[in-house]
């Protein structure tokens, strides 16, 4: 297996008095092709760790490796090309007058020849299912569509790693679903490594692994089912409680015994159905 991202003992502190360490001996590895969700309370260092992966900040101590290459000042620009970022606010990510111009922007910056640029834009828009919107104005799209266009802009640059920093947090449930489904598809097609920083349990549920970051270090890690079984502690871990867990907690309060393991909404409905029909 190839390691896509390796952070080893990162320490970082923003300038200013009384600043605590934003990263405090942070270490983790992400394998190529993995989808890892990073969760944690606000201010725990999630965005700072993304910035370290992308070389936007230089750690005071520790190492960042991208595909086994140590990130240095010299190779920063080259390595950064392998890492695409999508941010929280869909409205702050547009520069083009039309959707296709917008997706082309990053390619133009890289001096990609016109014919190839057109091919890549067409391909990227197809991947996020926004082909029909190529000539539209980005401002007029829904939140979910805007984030899909932002993702197309990243995909067109053909990175190997994509980092979504709370990219679904400003979207309504429909927009979130659209974006998560889009990520799932392009991840398979383009064999991407995905890092999604999120508070959304459905988004985290799609990951192969969840890392919980607290006070600038990894506090817990495991498969989503394992992390979700922490029940109400999840709120402290920076996740919204999944609906089946909320329901389980409410049933428990009423003295009804419920399964210990994590259940999806569908499994919870099945369980309710069978246990109710026994009565
Ligand atoms: N640009 C900045 N200048 C000063 N402090 C910052 C800056 N960005 C983040 N911080 C501080 O660093 C810590 C980690 O922040 P961040 O990585 O943004 O957390 P998260 O993304 O988990 O919410 C917080 O205490 C935050 O206040
Ligand atoms: Mg953040």
Q: Do residues 45 and 22 touch, judged by C-beta distance below 8 A?
A: yes
Rounded to an integer, what distance in angstroms lies between the CA atom of residue 244 and that of residue 224?
Answer: 14
- HEC sequence for the chain: CCEEEEEEEEEECCCCCCCCCCEEEEEEEEECCCEEEEECCCCCCHHHHHHHHCCCCCCCEEEEEECCEECCCCCHHHHHCCEEEECCCHHHHCCCCCHHHHHHHHHHHCCCCHHHHHHHHHHHHHHCCCHHHCCCCHHHCCHHHHHHHHHHHHHCCCCCEEEEECCCCCCCHHHHHHHHHHHHHHHHHHCCEEEEECCCHHHHHCCCEEEEEECCEEEEEECHHHHHCCCCHHHHCCCCCCHHHHHHHHHHHCCCCCCCCCCCHHHHHHHHHHHHHHC
CB of 238 sitting under 6 A from ligand 1: no
CB 125 within 8 A of CB 134: yes
Ligand sitting nearest the alpha carbon of 169: 2
**Per-residue pLDDT, 105:** 93
Return the residue whose CA atom lies nearest to atom 6 of ligand 1: 14
Q: Name the residue with the closest Cα to ligand 1, atom 1.
A: 14
C-beta of 243 in contact with ligand 1 (< 6 A) = no
Q: Determine the pLDDT at residue 242.
A: 66
| Ligand 2 midpoint to CA 153 (Å) | 21
- CA angle 22/157/6 to nearest 5° reads 35
Residue 236 CA: distances (Å) to CA of 76, 140, 230, 242, 254: 35, 37, 10, 13, 24
Rounded to the nearest angstrom, the distance between the alpha carbon of 40 and the centre of ligand 2 is 9
d(CA 214, ligand 1 centre) in Å: 12
48 lines ligand 1 (CB under 6 A): yes
The pLDDT assigned to 94 comes to 83
Closest ligand 1 atom to Cα of 216? 14
Q: Which atom of ligand 1 is nearest to the CA of 238?
A: 22
CA of 122 to the centre of ligand 2 (A): 31
> How many angstroms is it from 219 CA to the middle of ligand 1?
18
CB of 47 shorter than 6 A to ligand 1: yes
| Atom number in ligand 1 closest to CA 166 | 21
User: What's the CA-to-centroid distance between 13 and ligand 1, angstroms?
Assistant: 9
Residue with the smallest CA separation from ligand 1 atom 26 is 43
> 19 CA to middle of ligand 1, Å?
10
Determine how β-strand 209-214 pairs with β-strand 217-222: antiparallel
Q: What is the distance in A from the centroid of ligand 2 to the CA of 259?
A: 34
Pair of tokens at residue 243: 């609906």
Supply the pLDDT for residue 279: 63
Measured CA angle at 75 (ends 77, 218), to 5 deg: 90
Any ligand 1 atom below 6 A from CB of 43:
yes
Q: Which residues of the chain have pLDDT under 50?
A: none
22 lines ligand 1 (CB under 6 A): yes
pLDDT in tens, 185-201: 999 988 899 999 999 88
């Amino acid at each position: 297996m190839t390691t896509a991202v390796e952070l080893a003992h990162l320490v970082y502190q923003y300038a200013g008095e009384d600043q605590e360490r934003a990263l405090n001996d942070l270490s983790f590895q992400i394998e190529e092709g993995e989808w890892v969700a990073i969760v944690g309370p606000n201010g725990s260092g999630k965005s700072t760790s993304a910035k370290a992966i992308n070389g936007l900040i230089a750690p005071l101590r520790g190492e960042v490796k991208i595909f086994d290459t140590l990130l240095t000042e010299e190779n920063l620009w080259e390595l950064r090309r392998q890492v695409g970022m999508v941010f929280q606010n869909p409205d702050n990510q547009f520069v083009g007058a039309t959707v296709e111009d917008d997706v082309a922007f990053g390619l133009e910056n890289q001096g990609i020849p016109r014919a190839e640029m057109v091919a890549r834009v067409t391909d990227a828009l197809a991947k996020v299912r926004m082909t029909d919107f190529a000539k539209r104005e980005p401002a007029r799209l829904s939140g979910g569509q805007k984030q899909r266009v932002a993702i197309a802009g990243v995909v067109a640059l053909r990175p190997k790693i994509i980092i979504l920093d709370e990219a679904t947090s400003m979207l309504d449930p429909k927009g979130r679903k659209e974006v998560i489904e889009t990520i799932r598809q392009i991840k398979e097609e383009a064999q991407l490594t995905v890092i999604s920083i999120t508070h959304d349990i459905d988004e985290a549920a799609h990951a192969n692994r969840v890392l919980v970051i607290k006070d600038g270090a990894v506090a817990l890690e495991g498969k989503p089912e394992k992390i979700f079984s922490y029940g109400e502690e999840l709120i402290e871990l920076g996740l919204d409680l999944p609906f089946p867990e909320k329901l389980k907690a409410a049933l428990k309060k009423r003295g009804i015994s419920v399964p210990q393991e994590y259940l999806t909404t569908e499994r919870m409905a099945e369980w309710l159905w069978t246990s109710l029909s026994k009565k």
